[in-house]
Amino acid sequence: MSKTFIALLRGINVSGQKKIKMAELRIVLEGAGLKNVQTYIQSGNIVFDIDETGKDNLQDTITKAIQRNFGFDVPTLVMQKKNVKQILEANPFANEDEENKLYYVLLKNPPKKELAQQFKQIHFENEDFHITDTCVYLLCKNGYGRAKLNNNLIEKKLRVEATTRNQKTMKKLQEMTSD
């Protein structure tokens, strides 16, 4: 019985770097054993089915397939569809009226407790956040493009790999995985 998973690639098709056409990516991933591969927009959002359930194995399979076929390393985060639903439901900023200000920095691994405590001391004007073991929820009142709290800062401070998605993308991924 196959399960539905979501893979999020970090840093592809950004500013002309690490360019991958989604049609080619779907073919490569199906060749690597993933089934019913779908992509959403050009930024590396992939929904697929597979019998395998090991998240680390799936991340490794996808990373290696991209390395082999496109010639570069791409950080990959895999999660089950239930994880997206849980993350969306737990968003402490869900009642904000401007959903284009909501971002999710999805963490590959839980940060160390002491790093998370230190991170909680950070404050930037017009930005708010809430940190969990799987996600840093961002409320960027002036938009993510101007935010000081961004993926690179969060990775550096928490010492974990992460990738960021906006509210619209997260909702679309949930929709793509609903039965």
The sign of the dihedral angle between the CA atoms of 33, 38, 40, 41 is: positive
Strand order of the β-sheet with 162-166 is 127-131, 135-140, 102-107, 162-166
Q: Looking at residue 16, what is its pLDDT?
A: 67
Q: Which two tokens stand for residue 25?
A: 């990516």
pTM, two decimals, is 0.91
Tell me the residue type at 17. Answer: Q
Q: Looking at residue 35, what is its pLDDT?
A: 94
Contact 110, 64 (CB under 8 A): no
Alpha-carbon distance of 67 to 44, in angstroms, equals 14
Own/partner contacts of 121-130, CB < 8 Å, gap of 24 or more, are 122/149, 122/157, 124/148, 124/149, 128/93, 130/92, 130/93
The mean pLDDT values, 10 residues at a time, for the chain of 179 residues are 89 74 92 94 89 85 93 91 93 82 95 96 94 96 91 95 93 89
Alpha-carbon distance of 100 to 139, in angstroms, equals 9
Q: Which domains does the chain have, with CATH numbers?
A: 3-82 (3.30.70.1280), 85-177 (3.30.70)
Q: Looking at residue 179, what is its pLDDT?
A: 66
Contact 161, 154 (CB under 8 A): no
